[in-house]
Amino acid sequence: MKKIGVLTSGGDAPGMNAAIRAVVRVAIYNGLEVVGIKRGYQGLIEGDVINMDVSSVGDIIHRGGTKLRSARSLEFKTEKGFNRAINVLKTFKIDGLVVIGGDGSFRGAAKLCENGIPTIGIPATIDNDLGYTDYTIGFFTALMTVVNAIGNVRDTSTAHGRTNIIEVMGRNCGDIALYAGLSGGAESIIIPEIDFDIDEISENIIRGKNRGKLSSIVLLAEGVGKPYELAEELELKTGTKTRVSVIGYLQRGGTPTPYDRVLASRFGAEAVNLLINGDAGKVVGIKGNKIISLNIKEALEIPREIDEDLYKLTQILAI
């Protein structure tokens, strides 16, 4: 292994820059050459490749987004596009690749491995929707943004005596809603993994009001959706004015939290070590604060399960 490449792919996540920095510096420390591939798999197809040295990753650890930019590439999924990507890797004499992204990016990485390219995946997505790892890069930063938003909404909600629905991202995973809901003291949390009962939520709001609560926050995961319909129904059932905030892309940007920077640095180092040791075809992750790695395909088959105990706790705390 003489030269490795690194790219970021799919939805960007705060902390991706810290991961790029770790990959580049740990590789150089170990005597490897490093190139960066811009705009994920699309940039790979187009040969958008740049040399990376120690200073190329300076001044980025604290920045959200990704210095290498990102993309969702339909072309990479076609045979023609995929073959072009393989040719570019050969042309630039890239012996190994680090892919920083979510499950879609990992599926692409698995295909590259099958075609003889030693590849390692680093999990980075705000959704925290990968089953094999406790946490993904970006999740805790997104949580921080959402929790700050809950605080702001709570101020105005209390001033007016309203219910506020806050919709957060996460695709089909309810982790952002669950963890942010718990941290922000939400009265109700609605996630795709657990059925909800509108009457129970309404009763909870009315009970709170009767004991002097001035506001209620309902955290809604985008995987359940329909926030405006829910607001109408809740308003009808509770007699309380109900407003909606969809946080959207605000929660994908911003300076990464220290935890995300540490996680990204540890993942980046492990990814390079695996490539150096000829142990490719894997994804790195974290389980109980221990850095782990496992076969990409096996990792992708592990379903993400919601922490039901944590959900139950949020219900108890919102009585």
Active site members: 127
Separation between Cα atoms, residue 300 and residue 111, nearest integer Å: 13
Residue from 192, 180, 257 nearest 219 by CA: 180
Identify whether the C-beta of residue 266 lies closer than 8 Å to the C-beta of residue 187: no
Q: Return the residue matching tokens 């960007």.
A: 12
* Residues in touch with ligand F6P (CB under 6 A): 11, 72, 102, 125-127, 169-171, 222, 252
Residue 252 interacting partner from ligand ADP, ligand F6P, none (CB closer than 5 to 8 Å by kind): ligand F6P
Residue 171 interacting partner from ligand ADP, ligand F6P, none (CB closer than 5 to 8 Å by kind): ligand F6P
| Residues 121-140 contacting ligand ADP, CB under 6 A | 125
Min dist. Cβ of residue 143 to ligand F6P (A): 13
Separation between Cα atoms, residue 205 and residue 217, nearest integer Å: 9
Residue from 293, 267, 260, 258 nearest 23 by CA: 267
Identify whether the C-beta of residue 96 lies closer than 8 Å to the C-beta of residue 118: yes
- Output 102 or 285, the one with its CB closest to ligand ADP: 102
Q: Return the residue matching tokens 């969702």.
A: 72
Residue 209 interacting partner from ligand F6P, ligand ADP, none (CB closer than 5 to 8 Å by kind): none
What phi, psi does 301 have (nearest 5°)?
Answer: -85, -15
- Output 125 or 257, the one with its CB closest to ligand F6P: 125
Residue 170 interacting partner from ligand ADP, ligand F6P, none (CB closer than 5 to 8 Å by kind): ligand F6P
Min dist. Cβ of residue 111 to ligand ADP (A): 5
- Output 68 or 318, the one with its CB closest to ligand ADP: 68
**x-or-dash pattern for ligand ADP, window 48-87, by CB under 6 A?**
------------------------xx--xx----------
DSSP string of 81-98? Answer: HHHHHHHHHHHTT--EEE
Min dist. Cβ of residue 54 to ligand ADP (A): 28
Does residue number 102 form part of the binding site for ligand ADP (CB under 6 A)?
yes
Min dist. Cβ of residue 291 to ligand ADP (A): 20
Does residue number 105 form part of the binding site for ligand ADP (CB under 6 A)?
yes
Residue 181 interacting partner from ligand F6P, ligand ADP, none (CB closer than 5 to 8 Å by kind): none
Separation between Cα atoms, residue 137 and residue 122, nearest integer Å: 8
- Output 39 or 162, the one with its CB closest to ligand ADP: 39
Does residue number 251 form part of the binding site for ligand ADP (CB under 6 A)?
no
Determine how many CB atoms are found less than 10 A away from the CB of residue 74: 10
- What separation, in Å, do the N-terminal and C-terminal C-alpha atoms of the chain show? 58
Residue 12 interacting partner from ligand ADP, ligand F6P, none (CB closer than 5 to 8 Å by kind): none
Of the residues 67, 107, 160, 243, which one makes contact with ligand ADP according to CB under 6 A: 107
Does residue number 297 form part of the binding site for ligand ADP (CB under 6 A)?
no
Q: Which amino acid is at 176?
A: I
**Distance between alpha carbon 151 and the CA centroid of its chain, in Å?**
22
Q: 3-state DSSP call for residue 71?
A: coil
224: tokens are 């359940």
Separation between Cα atoms, residue 236 and residue 220, nearest integer Å: 18
Interacting residues toward ligand ADP by CB under 6 A:
9-11, 41, 72-73, 76-77, 101-105, 107-108, 111, 125
